[in-house]
Structure 1
Amino acid sequence: MQTAEISRRYIDFFAERGHTVVPSASLVSDDPTLLFTVAGMVPFVPYLTGVVPAPYPRAVDVQKCIRTNDIEEVGKTARHGTFFQMLGNWSFGDYFKEGAITYAWDLLTRSEADGGLGFAERDLWVTVYETDDEAAALWKRIAGLPDERIQRMGKADNYWHTGQPGPGGPCSEIYVDRGPQYGRDGGPIVDDNRFTEIWNLVFMQELITEVRSKEDFRVVGPLPQKNIDTGMGLERVAFLKQGLDNMYETDQVRPVLDRASELSGRRYGADHDDDVRMRIIADHVRSSLMLMSDGVRPSNEGRGYILRRLLRRSIRSMRLLGVDGPSFAELFAASRDAMQSGYPEVATEFPRLSQIAIAEEETFLNTLSAGTTILDLAVAKTKQAGSPQLAGDTAFLLHDTYGFPIDLTLEMAEEAGLEVDRPAFDSLMSDQRARAKADAKSKKQTLADLSAYSPFRSLGETVFTGYTDLVTDSSVLGILVDGHAVPAAVAGQTAEIILGATSLYAESGGQMPDKGRIVGDGFVLDVLDVQKPVPGLISHTVKVVSGEVGVGVPARSEVDADYRRGATQAHSGTHLVHAALRQVLGPDAHQAGSLNRAGYLRLDFGWNKALSGDTRSEIEEIANNAIRDNLEVVTREMPLDEAKALGAMALFGEKYGDVVRVVDIGGPWSRELCAGTHVSTSAEVGMINLIGESSVGATSRRVESLVGIEAFRQFAAERALVNELTSNLKTRPDQLVDRVGELVANLKAAEKKIQAYEAKALSERVPTLADRAGRVGAYLLVAEHVGTLASGDELRSLATAVRGRLGDAASVVALTAEVSGRPVAIVATSPAARDAGANAGALAKQMASTLGGGGGGKPDLAQGGGSDLGAIPAALDAVRVELGR
């Protein structure tokens, strides 16, 4: 049974039983404490906690998930994968334990001919929470399971939560006995390899907090209603129904594994280590493809870092299979073909996704090359010092700074006959993780407990009136101070204010929040921030300027009209620039992020090379022509599918509901899904002035622009500068470029003449310095201070010229000079002097130490410097003393 067929049967079974079919949420979680959607329940947490009323009593879905906490186990076990799909059926205050158990047993044991999954009843075992007598009794009554096939376990195994404060509850897990060839008999409590978990029925009934571990947390109390959250691992069911030993050989994963085998020439099944590497590649390539399809891009932090790690582990595994060159083009194509039946977007967006992957591969292959060079030098120095062990801090530097995998460092060090100080490396890694964990924990603690918003959200959604009104009368529904509800806030306090309706825009879609204030009878509040902490609720962070504000009192939200005008100009300007980019560069130049505030816009887009000056000018001109043409801006609300059928662009990483807002500028010329505020006609944008274009990654560029009055002010400032230059240079504006070019050419010619004069003056000093050579021990020594020079290079040239003047003698030339107010020393030695024991590097280091600095170099030529000009005579004497020993 193919993976897609299992998914279809699951959805159909529950849809026929009154469950609303819900599409998968993005892998990028809305939960600020999570990087990714790590479990099927994550998108439903607001409904499970009761913070947001559920729009349906029961639901069914197939949720995409990413989990990397067990990444080191990928490829080694039958069921560990970083990307997985969770089949779930949900009840929000509807059915509970009896219904969940009845549905699960029916679907699992119903014959394939009747639309079920066809598992044999004799092969199914279950576990329940150690004190859950009710669940155990239901399994006996509904499924007829004997006591020995109902096993009880503690919190570590049979209590479910996300690892964060929120909903939780006891659970009942269903296992399949794979047979004696996979391990010992006795059920999952004895061997969870032979007995493989496929489905977890979670009885969500409690709100937990202070989560310290899987087993250590505090139960706050019961949830407002009892809910059902189930999760059945699609990949696990697939490998069981396809008669396989592991998830890596299923129909959605095996094609990548096979392609890795073909590219490497290694046969899958011939060598355990190679098999693990091919499984890692198959898993990580699929996970990376799915992450990128949801808008994640490789970077050095957050989600992007996880993606980068997956990609680099894939490259590393290919290298260990003997493939040193690029392979992503073929590996990702194989994953696309395997996944597109379930996720059509990976095919339609594949040109963009593959471009990102291939660019990251190219970058890391270069990193591996650079890291190898650094490692080779470290190995050479370690051997030279006679040590059998490469320092742990060197391995950490390679890993942390250059992205060089530790296992590659271990392998290459072993090839050179060295070990790596692994305890030191692990200690440094542990310190880094502790710092990161502490930082993440501190950030999480600053977030309000979302349950605090539940009473306000239960009153309905906050009405946003700001599309049409800048002033709105409403009332204060709630006040939060330090995350806790309070009856009032007084002058000087910072608080969160929840209104029934507001004209103030909450930050979203790249548009920064409105500025403004909230006023009422006897109080004035300055608005510091406006956010949506939970779906449908708008919260205003305010500073109480005067008076006292209380719950239930009338309040008026007032938007700063000048700021809003600038913000709408910037947001509409972003749409214009985006349309112009796509017109000039093509559809691959897709927006990947933006920031809009009054007078300024920033837009990131997919592209892999810098824009020429002519291209930037063309984009700017197209955007400003659209402003000149005074295109009509129309906003409409419609179903998402209808909007996409009209060609409205959805931006990657953004999340949309069933009904979306479509913003047209000039009809289809620019048509995007957008909840931001916009001008009425394009002429109101005023002006676009592109001020910058830069790289933000291997496959992303960024343009920045001033908008409206800020764009005009920039042009006015540049005009004033041009006027000043033309006045000073006594030329016309149209001749300014030629005049400046002429001055630059004259300056370069003058500098060249000066350099020639200085070089001649230096060469004329060579004979005099050589004539001052004196015998010190076995050496002919020139030790002189030559005064002030323009650069250390001039001093170096002078020293080597004097050394040449002295011929074949055993000569040492030690010169000092003042360069930019600091002492510099150069030592040059002849071959005969080096044969006699003189070492320029050692002498320069000694001089630099006397000068209060550092230095060194090769035995024939070395340089040093310091900060103490008064120590120059002592530094020259140090050379005389050393050579006279």
Structure 2
Amino acid sequence: MQTHEIRRRFLDHFVKAGHTEVPSASLILDDPNLLFVNAGMVPFVPFFLGQQTPSYSRATSVQKCVRTLDIEEVGITTRHNTFFQMAGNFSFGDYFKKEAISHAWQLLTGSVEDGGYGIDPTRLWATVYLDDDEAFSIWRDEVGVPEERIQRRGMKDNYWSMGIPGPCGPCSEIFYDRGAEYGVEGGPEADEDRYIEIWNLVFMQNERGEGTNKGDYPILGPLPKKNIDTGMGVERVAFLLQGVENVYETDLLRPVIDKAAELTGSVYGTDHTSDVRFRVIADHARTAAMLIADGVNPGNYGRGYVLRRLLRRIVRSAKLLGSEQPTMREFMIVVRDTMAPSYPVLETDFTRIENVAVGEETAFLKTLASGSALFENAAETVKSSGKSVIAGDQAFALHDTYGFPIDLTLEMASEAGLTVDEDGFRTLMAEQRKRAKDDAQARKHAHADLTVYKELLDRGATEFTGFDELVSEAHVLALIVDGVRVPVAKAGQDVEVILDRSPLYAESGGQIADIGSLTAPGLEAKVNDVQKIAKKVWTHKVTVQKGEITEGDVVLAHVDAEWRKGATQGHSGTHMVHAALRQVLGPNAVQAGSLNKPGYLRFDFSWQGALSDSQKQDIEALTNEAVASNYAVNTFVTDLDKAKAMGAMALFGENYGDEVRVVEIGGPFSMELCGGTHVGSSAQIGQVTLLGEQSVGSGIRRVEAYVGLDSYRYLAKERALLAGLSSSLKVPSEEVPARVEALVERLKVAEKELEQTKAKAVLAAAGEYVAKAKRIGSVLVIAEPAPAGVGGNDLRSLVTDIKGRLGSEPAVVALLGDVDGKVPFVVASSKAAQGLGVKAGELVASFGPKIGGRGGGKPDMAQGSGSDSAGIPAALDAIRDRVGELAGGS
């Protein structure tokens, strides 16, 4: 049975049982505790907590999930994936244990002809929480599972929570017995490789508090209602029903493995190490594609860093399997072809997904090339010192600073006849992970408490009147101060005001909130901000300036007209720039975030590489031509499928309802799904001036622009600046660029001449230093302070010149500078001195601590820097003493 059919049968089964089918939420939710949605119940948490009332009492979904706690363990075990699909059925105070167990059993054991999975019931085991006699009895007496196939387990295994304060409860798990060839008898308690968990029924009835691990947290009390949260692992059921050995060999993942075998020349199933690499490619390629589809881009922090790690592990694994060419495009194509039947976005948005993934691969291949060079330097230093082990901190620096994978370091070390201090590396990695884990734990807190808004959310959405008017009469439904409902707020107080209707726009879709006021007889209050609660209720952040406001009052809600005018210019301008940008760059340039406010817009888009000057000029020109054309701006509401069929742009990473609002500017010029406020015609936007374009992350560029009067003011300043330069340079304004270019060129020539003069002066001092040479044992030693202000390349050149003047004799030259509080140093050792055991790289250790510094290098030359210039005399003495110890003499 194919995976797509397994999904469909699950949803059909529960829809027939009266459940509402709910589409999967995005992998990215507005939750500070979660990088990604990691369980099927996450989108329903407010319902379980009683903070919101759902429009249905029972639901079913197949939720996209990503768990990244142990990325480096992927493929080593064959039961876990970073991306997985959790099929779930949920009851919000409707049915409970008996019905939940019955629904699961009927689907698992029901015949294929009747829509079930046809699993042999004698292969199924159940577990229940220690004292859950009710669930035990249901399994034994109602379902008919023999008592010996029902096991009681403790809090760690059979009590479920999100890992943070929130809803929780005892659970009952269903396991499938794969047979004696896969392990020992005795049920899940004995062997979870033989007995595979396929379904978890959580009896969500309590709320938990803070805790340190899965089995250590207090139960705060019961939830408002007893709920059901169940999850069936789609991938696990697939591998059992398809008769393969593990989740990586199912119909959705095995094709990626086969493609990897084709591209690398390696064979899956020959050895464990190679098999792990194949599984990493299959797992990570799918996860990466799904993350990119939901709007994640590679980066150095948070979600972006996770995606970057996944993509780089794919590249690394393919390379270790023998690939000599880029492979990412081929892997993404296979993921698209296998997953698109369930997730059409992988096909409709494939070009962008492919570009992001391939762009990261290209960048990382360059990193691997530079990392290889760094490794070779490290290996040469180890060999020249007569050692055979690359230090753990060097391997860690390659991994952490330069992104060079440890397994490649190990492989290259082996080829060079060296080993790596793996224990030292693992220790440093463990310390880094602990820091990351502690940081993540510090950022976690309880699920956002919306309890104070529950009554308001249940009442229904705020009516937004701002598309048609700037002043609306409204009723005050609630006043909230510091999270608590209050009956009245007086002058001087800051308060959240909930109205039944409002013309003020609540921040969303890149458009910042309106400002304005609330007035009534005797009342004046300033609206500073407007935000959405659970995407449906507007909360107005208000400062009461005069009088008082009371729950139940009738007020007039005013939008600041000038603010709104500027905001509509900025938002409509964003649509125009987006349309122009796609005309110039093509359909692959897709919005990846925006911010617009009065007079200003910021627009991020997916693209590899900087835009040329001509491209930026074309984008600005097309935008302003469209503005000048005075296109009509039309808005209308339709269903999502019709909007897409018309060509309306739906932005990735956004969740849309069944009905959407379309903003059309100039017919085909721009058509996007958008809930923001806009101008009446394009000419009202005014002049659009691009300020610049820059990178804000891997594969993401950003343009900024002024619109309307702000654009005029910016250009007026630029004109005044140009006029000032024209006057100062005494040339017409059109000749200013050429004159400035000429002046810059003259300045470069003068700076170069100055540097040459400085270098000559430095080298002229070489003869003076040679005269200061002292023989220590059989070695000529020059250990002196460097000329004032000399560091960097100049200092290296001076030391090299001095060493050359000393001829073939055993000689050491060490100069320590004092530049802006830093102590740059260079040490050189002649070939003859090296033969006596005096090596530059090792001398650094003798004096570095004296100046609070460190450095390194090869036997012939080493350099570095310190921070304590007061230690220079002692450092010079330490050099002389160490040479004496190595070469004899004093």
What TM-score comes out, normalization by structure 2 length?
Answer: 0.87
Deviates more, 1:640-649 or 1:381-390: 381-390
Structure 2 CA distance for partners of 1:530 and 1:242, relative to 1, 3 Å: same
1:371 is aligned to 371
**Would you say 1:612 and 2:612 are equivalent positions?**
yes
Cα offset for 1:256? Answer: 0.7
Deviates more, 1:100-109 or 1:737-746: 737-746
Deviates more, 1:193-202 or 1:436-445: 436-445
Structure 2 CA distance for partners of 1:673 and 1:784, relative to 1, 3 Å: closer
Structure 2 CA distance for partners of 1:234 and 1:807, relative to 1, 3 Å: closer
Residues 684-737 of structure 1 deviation map (CA, whole Å, 9 limit, x = unaligned): 211211111112333222111122222211111110011111112222222223
Rounded Cα–Cα distance in structure 1 between residues aligned with 2:817 and 2:237: 78
1:284 aligned counterpart, secondary structure: helix
1:16 is aligned to 16
2:499 is aligned to 499
Q: Note the residue ranges of structure 2 that are not aligned, 5 or more in a row.
A: none
1:43 is aligned to 43
1:251 maps to amino acid:
D
The 5 Å alignment of 1:205-220 reads 205-210=205-210, 212-220=212-220
2:467 is aligned to 467
Rounded Cα–Cα distance in structure 2 between residues aligned with 1:507 and 1:385: 63
2:166 and 2:447 in contact (8 A); partners too: no
Cα offset for 1:494? Answer: 5.1
Structure 2 CA distance for partners of 1:555 and 1:265, relative to 1, 3 Å: same
1:774 and 1:780 in contact (8 A); partners too: no
Rounded Cα–Cα distance in structure 1 between residues aligned with 2:525 and 2:535: 24
1:52 maps to amino acid:
Q
1:86 is aligned to 86
1:346 maps to amino acid:
L
1:109 and 1:120 in contact (8 A); partners too: yes
Rounded Cα–Cα distance in structure 1 between residues aligned with 2:277 and 2:228: 38
**Would you say 1:250 and 2:250 are equivalent positions?**
yes
1:536 is aligned to 536
1:693 aligned counterpart, secondary structure: strand
2:668 aligned counterpart, secondary structure: helix
1:727 is aligned to 727
**Would you say 1:692 and 2:703 are equivalent positions?**
no
1:69 is aligned to 69
2:591 and 2:604 in contact (8 A); partners too: yes
Rounded Cα–Cα distance in structure 2 between residues aligned with 1:63 and 1:424: 41
Rounded Cα–Cα distance in structure 1 between residues aligned with 2:357 and 2:498: 44
Rounded Cα–Cα distance in structure 1 between residues aligned with 2:769 and 2:75: 75
Rounded Cα–Cα distance in structure 2 between residues aligned with 1:855 and 1:171: 58
1:402 aligned counterpart, secondary structure: coil
1:714 is aligned to 714
Cα offset for 1:614? Answer: 0.8
Deviates more, 1:578-587 or 1:285-294: 285-294
Cα offset for 1:676? Answer: 1.7
Rounded Cα–Cα distance in structure 2 between residues aligned with 1:819 and 1:660: 63
Structure 2 CA distance for partners of 1:787 and 1:397, relative to 1, 3 Å: closer
The 5 Å alignment of 1:503-582 reads 503-518=503-518, 526-542=526-542, 551-582=551-582
2:673 is aligned to 673
2:829 and 2:838 in contact (8 A); partners too: yes
**Would you say 1:342 and 2:342 are equivalent positions?**
yes
1:448 and 1:482 in contact (8 A); partners too: no
2:284 is aligned to 284
2:203 maps to amino acid:
F
1:90 and 1:229 in contact (8 A); partners too: yes
Cα offset for 1:650? Answer: 0.8
1:790 and 1:820 in contact (8 A); partners too: no
Rounded Cα–Cα distance in structure 2 between residues aligned with 1:878 and 1:104: 77
Rounded Cα–Cα distance in structure 1 between residues aligned with 2:870 and 2:164: 64
**Would you say 1:321 and 2:321 are equivalent positions?**
yes
Structure 2 CA distance for partners of 1:715 and 1:425, relative to 1, 3 Å: same
Rounded Cα–Cα distance in structure 2 between residues aligned with 1:696 and 1:567: 24
Cα offset for 1:766? Answer: 8.7
1:341 aligned counterpart, secondary structure: coil
Rounded Cα–Cα distance in structure 1 between residues aligned with 2:769 and 2:400: 54
1:186 aligned counterpart, secondary structure: coil
Cα offset for 1:799? Answer: 8.2
Cα offset for 1:575? Answer: 0.7
Aligned residues: 883
1:701 is aligned to 701
CA RMSD of aligned residues (A): 4.3
1:168 is aligned to 168
1:214 aligned counterpart, secondary structure: coil
Residues 525-579 of structure 1 deviation map (CA, whole Å, 9 limit, x = unaligned): 5545433242312334455666665544445544333333222211111111110
2:7 and 2:87 in contact (8 A); partners too: yes
Structure 2 CA distance for partners of 1:492 and 1:208, relative to 1, 3 Å: farther
Cα offset for 1:287? Answer: 1.3
Q: Note the residue ranges of structure 1 that are not aligned, 5 or more in a row.
A: none
Answer 1 or 2: higher relative contact order, Cα 8 Å, separation at least 6.
Answer: 2
Rounded Cα–Cα distance in structure 1 between residues aligned with 2:711 and 2:860: 58
1:641 is aligned to 641
Residues 48-93 of structure 1 deviation map (CA, whole Å, 9 limit, x = unaligned): 3333332233333222211223434432334211111122223333
Cα offset for 1:244? Answer: 1.5
1:313 aligned counterpart, secondary structure: helix
Structure 2 CA distance for partners of 1:65 and 1:447, relative to 1, 3 Å: closer
1:816 and 1:826 in contact (8 A); partners too: yes
Cα offset for 1:106? Answer: 2.2
2:190 maps to amino acid:
V
Structure 2 CA distance for partners of 1:383 and 1:806, relative to 1, 3 Å: closer
Rounded Cα–Cα distance in structure 2 between residues aligned with 1:617 and 1:675: 30
Residues 575-596 of structure 1 deviation map (CA, whole Å, 9 limit, x = unaligned): 1111001101110111111122
Residues 201-225 of structure 1 deviation map (CA, whole Å, 9 limit, x = unaligned): 2333334343543333344444333
2:769 and 2:802 in contact (8 A); partners too: no
Cα offset for 1:875? Answer: 11
1:268 is aligned to 268
Deviates more, 1:402-411 or 1:805-814: 805-814
What TM-score comes out, normalization by structure 1 length?
Answer: 0.87
1:504 and 1:530 in contact (8 A); partners too: yes
Rounded Cα–Cα distance in structure 2 between residues aligned with 1:388 and 1:839: 18
Cα offset for 1:20? Answer: 2.6
Structure 2 CA distance for partners of 1:565 and 1:431, relative to 1, 3 Å: farther
1:14 and 1:89 in contact (8 A); partners too: yes
Structure 2 CA distance for partners of 1:549 and 1:271, relative to 1, 3 Å: same
1:737 is aligned to 737
1:630 is aligned to 630
2:295 is aligned to 295
**Would you say 1:137 and 2:167 are equivalent positions?**
no
2:165 and 2:445 in contact (8 A); partners too: no
Cα offset for 1:644? Answer: 0.9
The 5 Å alignment of 1:435-474 reads 435-445=435-445, 448-474=448-474
Structure 2 CA distance for partners of 1:212 and 1:861, relative to 1, 3 Å: closer
Structure 2 CA distance for partners of 1:850 and 1:140, relative to 1, 3 Å: closer
Identity of aligned residues (%): 54
1:565 and 1:598 in contact (8 A); partners too: yes
Deviates more, 1:357-366 or 1:549-558: 549-558
1:668 aligned counterpart, secondary structure: coil
Structure 2 CA distance for partners of 1:56 and 1:844, relative to 1, 3 Å: closer
1:602 is aligned to 602
2:791 and 2:825 in contact (8 A); partners too: no
